[in-house]
A and B are shown apart, each in its own frame.
Chain A
Amino acid sequence: MKKLINDPDAVVDEMIEGMCTAHDFRRLEGTTVVVRADAPLEGKVGIVSGGGSGHEPTHAGFIGDGMLDGAAAGEVFTSPTADQISEMIQACDGGEGVFCVIKNYEGDVMNFETAMEMAEMEAETEVESVVVDDDVAVEDSLYTSGRRGVAGTIFVHKVAGAMAHQGGGLSEIKRVAAKANEHVGTMGMALTSCVTPEKGEPTFELSAEEVELGIGIHGEPGTERTDVMSADEIADHLTEAVLEDLDLEGGTEVVTMVNGMGGTPLMELYVVNRRVQEIVGEAGLEVWDERVGDYMTSLDMMGCSITVLELDDELKELLAYPAETPGLTVVE
């Protein structure tokens, strides 16, 4: 398998080096944690996240004004360790405490929980967190109890980051982050598996005539394998599953996201988005904003996920608040 990789063992390290020269980021020495160059911001609650690598731009790509202050990167598809997460928490504490956005995977949750205790013990840092579980495809999966945390996490980053930049305290941030998580749903699918640097071959086998529905972001199996479908049929299937889960009344305002899994041409994502908008319109929902692009990827997997977030005035205001990060920019 041809890859732009020098050494599978060094891929996370070298990625972070490249990231830190490209953006206003600083790497905490001896770790794979990246924080904004000027962290901590005095008087603002720090917002941090983290997880396995291979989902870029998640999470470090959302470091910047209005979103994250820090992101801990683990090995590919592997949770970062608690000691590194704890260092990140302490590096992002500007005196008002730190809020952690955690995707619901057993390793991530345990390491973040341990890290929060370490930061409390070592530096008396005040910490709060939310565990994002937006994937409507599965109740329990290969790596989770409960639903998985996937692309809906980006909206939680945005909402929590905006609240922090407006001067919100830990409990306010937790409230809006939990609200966003409660009202968001996502479902994904794959045309191909992904190839991890270490293995160098596809994680699962998918023939040219098949697609996998309900996949996660680690090449873990989905809920259903079917014959290849058209872009419209796939968009129908995923969107309907998300809307059924959210169970929204007509007239509800929503934001939609068509997210690429890393190996999907943007052209195809727009084709999918075209159909998503038709279905959402037919369901009587008001689309307040649409996002199309690579936000939460699974290395080089071809496929997409569809996310719908139900809005209220507060969430709209927080989503509209300016943000400037490599992965997402919102201008006033």
Chain B
Amino acid sequence: MTDDSIDLETQADAVREAVRAADDRIADKKASLTELDSAIGDADHGANMTRGFGKATEQLEETDDHPADVVKTTGVALVSAVGGASGPLYGGSLMKASQELEDGLTPETTVAFAERYLETVESRGKASLGDKTMVDALTPAVHTYKKSIEVDGCAPLEALGKAVDAARRGVEFTTPLRAKKGRASYLGWRSVGHQDPGATSTLILLEELLAVATEHLDGEVDVDAEAEVDPEELETSVADDPEATGEDVSTSDDLPADGGD
């Protein structure tokens, strides 16, 4: 893909579409996010994220025809409407990372965006890989995206597909971990065996980003079958049954996603 072929207005439209898609998907998944969060948190993640993306969607009309502005405005909306810790983590990080998109969406700017986003989540949440947080979904996704683009020379859509797969494995990997950050950490060993809600919502957003990117960029790139969004797979990726998800993942890769057994 050569990015100068797509103008900023079209890019902004695609990002708006991704926000709307995320809003729909989060609303669909409200109950399962709430269920995950009631096991190890305070049962408000589904409601908070739904409220946040609802507000983000409402504000899309007021955004400039530039992807950076759409991302930034979405960040501000999430900060104001999600609340708690997820508001600053999701919204504040989008706001900050949007600065990397001043030149529009290119392979280079999207890598910089992804890295800045991860960095902000880590520093704000003071969380590291393996703490059973959204960082566990984000880190493999961001690393895979960067490597696919910079080392393997993949097109962005293919790289994003690989990143989403990596995030999915990261989410599975949160299940057998003991939480070290956030409210779940106070459960100590009782947090083991539960999938992290923040990592799960992160995966949902990445999956929607991929779905919208696929619609826009398909044809220019052969999308790997693995990267196609399969509704069945999505269903299991947010299920709270570690066995079901472990099985699902083991079919497509060899990472230690079955560590929860």
Contact A84 B88 (CB under 8 A): no
Contact B126 A82 (CB under 8 A): no
List, in ascending order, chain A residues with CB within 8 A of B91's CB: 82, 114
List, in ascending order, chain B residues with CB within 8 A of A84's CB: 80
Sorted from nearest, which 5 A-B pairs have the closest CB atoms?
A114-B92, A83-B80, A114-B88, A110-B88, A82-B79
Chain A, residues 75-119, CB within 8 Å of chain B (1/0): the string is 000110111100000000000000000000011001101100110
**Complex: A79 Cα to B79 Cα, angstroms:** 12
A145 within 8 A of B: yes
Contact A110 B124 (CB under 8 A): yes
Given contacts A83-B79, A83-B80, A117-B96, 9 further A-B contacts (CB under 8 A): A81-B81, A82-B79, A82-B80, A113-B92, A114-B79, A117-B95, A118-B92, A142-B183, A142-B186
Contact B186 A117 (CB under 8 A): no
A121 within 8 A of B: yes
B153 within 8 A of A: no
Query: Chain B residue with minimal CB distance to A143?
Result: B183
**Complex: A145 Cα to B180 Cα, angstroms:** 10
List, in ascending order, chain A residues with CB within 8 A of B92's CB: 82, 110, 113-114, 117-118
List, in ascending order, chain B residues with CB within 8 A of A81's CB: 79-81, 83, 87
**A289 CB, min distance to chain B CBs, angstroms:** 36
B259 within 8 A of A: no
Instruction: Name B's interface SS.
Output: helix
Partner of A110, one of B80, B96, B125, B186: B125
Partner of B126, one of A79, A111, A145: A145
Contact A111 B80 (CB under 8 A): no
Contact A110 B85 (CB under 8 A): yes
**Complex: A37 Cα to B157 Cα, angstroms:** 53
List, in ascending order, chain A residues with CB within 8 A of B256's CB: none
**Complex: A81 Cα to B76 Cα, angstroms:** 10
Q: List 7 A-B contacts (CB under 8 A).
A: A78-B84, A79-B83, A81-B80, A82-B88, A110-B92, A111-B88, A142-B183
List, in ascending order, chain B residues with CB within 8 A of A83's CB: 76, 79-80
List, in ascending order, chain A residues with CB within 8 A of B81's CB: 81
List, in ascending order, chain B residues with CB within 8 A of A114's CB: 79, 87-88, 91-92, 95, 124
**B78 CB, min distance to chain A CBs, angstroms:** 10
Query: Chain B residue with minimal CB distance to A221?
Result: B186
List, in ascending order, chain A residues with CB within 8 A of B182's CB: 106
**Complex: A118 Cα to B124 Cα, angstroms:** 14
Enumerate A294-315 residues with CB–CB distance to B below 8 Å.
none
B249 within 8 A of A: no
List, in ascending order, chain A residues with CB within 8 A of B76's CB: 83, 118
Partner of A78, one of B83, B88, B96, B186: B83
Contact B80 A107 (CB under 8 A): no
**Complex: A118 Cα to B76 Cα, angstroms:** 9
List, in ascending order, chain A residues with CB within 8 A of B125's CB: 110
B89 within 8 A of A: yes
Query: Chain A residue with minimal CB distance to B181?
Result: A145
Query: Chain B residue with minimal CB distance to A118?
Result: B95
**Complex: A84 Cα to B81 Cα, angstroms:** 11
**B75 CB, min distance to chain A CBs, angstroms:** 9
List, in ascending order, chain A residues with CB within 8 A of B88's CB: 82, 110-111, 113-114
Enumerate B37-87 residues with CB–CB distance to A below 8 Å.
76, 79-81, 83-85, 87
List, in ascending order, chain A residues with CB within 8 A of B85's CB: 106-107, 110
Contact B95 A79 (CB under 8 A): no
Query: Chain A residue with minimal CB distance to B77?
Result: A83
List, in ascending order, chain A residues with CB within 8 A of B95's CB: 114, 117-118, 121
**A76 CB, min distance to chain B CBs, angstroms:** 13
Chain B, residues 80-115, CB within 8 Å of chain A (1/0): the string is 110111011101100110000000000000000000
Partner of B87, one of A111, A121, A142, A145: A111
**Complex: A81 Cα to B81 Cα, angstroms:** 8
**Complex: A251 Cα to B85 Cα, angstroms:** 44
**B59 CB, min distance to chain A CBs, angstroms:** 12
**B118 CB, min distance to chain A CBs, angstroms:** 16
**B138 CB, min distance to chain A CBs, angstroms:** 16
List, in ascending order, chain A residues with CB within 8 A of B84's CB: 78-79, 107
Contact A82 B87 (CB under 8 A): yes
List, in ascending order, chain B residues with CB within 8 A of A107's CB: 84-85
**A103 CB, min distance to chain B CBs, angstroms:** 15
Query: Chain A residue with minimal CB distance to B186?
Result: A142
Chain B, residues 124-139, CB within 8 Å of chain A (1/0): the string is 1110000000000000
Chain A, residues 102-140, CB within 8 Å of chain B (1/0): the string is 000011001101100110010000000000000000000
Enumerate A218-266 residues with CB–CB distance to B below 8 Å.
none
**A74 CB, min distance to chain B CBs, angstroms:** 8
**Complex: A79 Cα to B183 Cα, angstroms:** 15
**A216 CB, min distance to chain B CBs, angstroms:** 12
**Complex: A135 Cα to B114 Cα, angstroms:** 38
**A60 CB, min distance to chain B CBs, angstroms:** 20
**A171 CB, min distance to chain B CBs, angstroms:** 22
Interface centre among A78, A83, A84, A142 (most CB of B within 10 A): A83
**A116 CB, min distance to chain B CBs, angstroms:** 10
**B68 CB, min distance to chain A CBs, angstroms:** 12
Contact A113 B124 (CB under 8 A): yes
Enumerate A183-230 residues with CB–CB distance to B below 8 Å.
none
